[in-house]
Chains A and B, each alone.
Chain A
Amino acid sequence: MEVGIVSYGAYVPRYRIKPEEIGRIWGVDGKSMGKGLMINQKSVPSPDEDVVTIATEAARYMMDRVPEVDPKDIGAIYIGSESHPYAVKPTSTIVAEAIGATPAMTAADMEFACKAGTAGIQACMGLVGAGMVRYGVAIGSDTSQGAPGDALEYSASAGGAAYLIGSENIIARINKTLSFTTDTPDFWRREGQPYPLHGGRFTGEPAYFRHITSAAKMMLDAMGTKPEDYKHAVFHQPNGKFPTRVAAMLGFTPEQIQYGLLTPEIGNTYSGAVPLGLANVLDHAEPGDRIFVTSYGSGAGSDAFDITVTDAIKDYKRDNAPVLERILENPVYVDYGTYAKFKGKIVMPE
């Protein structure tokens, strides 16, 4: 049975902050920091936005593009995030209710640092492929946290994308998926802690680069393909620098990653990062385009996908919801004080 993407939707909050503004507060040359990370600005959620509202907006856009799909035919919803609003109480049930998919369905929240969204896509592929559900929804959504003054504060942002996985009228066939997973403690957040910690430079070679290159090479070997066989590539993007470097290491060109690399303009949306990059690729995709995708989640693992865009994308009602380029238009820039207020970093009376 062919399994793939039936529809997708993406959402990024409207507010932005620039690295130089963050650096101004902490006595750091933010401009150089941004240049080093290849981050020009990052998205900031407004005080009334969280993983639930971002996931809902993306999921509603996803459903708007397939008016022929009855939400009651969705049999599973998985939402990946490292910033679920509740420690106990699923994000996925709220979003399921908001798109009218309840109650004959299963739902669960996922957590795997930045790759929980792609893990959800894999889970849905399994359920659809096994004939257990007609459609599955996988969403990566985050309002990620960086400790004040930490390097992460320059990148941790907010956004998400939703995917309707099925076997009918697929606009992009997922030819294969595989993963590379080890116990590598490069980034973590303990229960009850407000900010994650990370291993500094340890997050590079033994973590991000090892897992992405391993999963990517396993995929190229399994499919018997070379980087030049793909029109587009999307790699996890904690900053702009890492995906650019890993693409070059694997033999992908800057042109292949141009649509799939959004972090320089919106920051690291964690679980939303690869799903958003893929959404921007699909916004520009044409029938026959082959897409190479590799996510990365600290802790650590990478999910690779080999995807082919089908002829069905020609009749797909993409214009029923805004494409990412339109969503990212007209940002509102905030200063650090507003950012601190929006992110709840100011201690308020109870």
Chain B
Amino acid sequence: MSSVAREWREIPGRYNLVGTKCTNCGRIFFPARTFCPDCRRASIGKIEPYALARTGTVYSFSVIHEAPDCNNMQKPYAVAMVETDDGVMIEGQLVDVDLEKIEIGMPVRAVLRKLDADGKAGVIHYGYKFVPQ
């Protein structure tokens, strides 16, 4: 079973694509970082939460045939690198899509889906996946 506390800490990012932004240089981080590797000391106290756009385009993708247990019911399925409208690259599963119709550049939108569950009695983990726009 995964740590409930650790999963709970992930909620802002997983539900609402909340990362952070360095207000010193403008760089956006997802997942959230508390320190900007470019500005270093100058970024201290200048990192703020930043919600990414829920829309973007497929930068690249791959179809998965050997799935981990959590996705056994959905194979084969696609995962994609998505460039959000903010220009940030994030990775996620692409669902409700015909695999043969996925194209690089295809507009997609983040939705909330079940990612996994800790068995039949444990916590259910929700997070972002992408659907065609």
Once the chains are docked, how many angstroms separate the CA of A240 from the CA of B112?
31
Once the chains are docked, how many angstroms separate the CA of A53 from the CA of B96?
14
Residue ID in chain B nearest A13 by CB atoms:
B96
* CB-defined contacts of B96 to chain A, threshold 8 Å: 14, 46
* CB-defined contacts of B73 to chain A, threshold 8 Å: 47, 341-342
A residues near B, CB below 8 A? 14, 46-50, 52-53, 56-57, 85-86, 94, 97-98, 100, 341-342, 348, 350
Interface of B is mostly: mixed
Residue ID in chain B nearest A342 by CB atoms:
B73
Using A46-B96, A48-B129 as known contacts, say yes or no to A97 and B15 having CB atoms under 8 A apart.
yes
Once the chains are docked, how many angstroms separate the CA of A203 from the CA of B120?
32
5 A/B residue pairs, CB under 8 Å, sorted by A: A48-B95, A50-B124, A57-B111, A100-B16, A341-B73
Cβ-Cβ contact count across A and B, 8 Å cutoff:
47
Q: Flag whether B119 is at the interface (Cβ < 8 A).
A: yes
Chain B: residues with Cβ within 8 Å of the partner, total of: 18
* CB-defined contacts of B74 to chain A, threshold 8 Å: 46-48
Partner of A94, one of B113, B120, B126: B126
Partner of B114, one of A14, A53, A100: A53
Determine whether the beta carbon of A86 is less than 8 Å from that of B124: yes
Once the chains are docked, how many angstroms separate the CA of A212 from the CA of B111?
36
Given contacts A49-B113, A52-B112, A53-B112, 12 further A-B contacts (CB under 8 A): A46-B95, A46-B96, A47-B114, A48-B95, A48-B114, A48-B115, A49-B114, A94-B15, A94-B126, A97-B16, A341-B73, A350-B120
Using A98-B15, A342-B73 as known contacts, say yes or no to A50 and B114 having CB atoms under 8 A apart.
yes
Residue ID in chain A nearest B117 by CB atoms:
A85
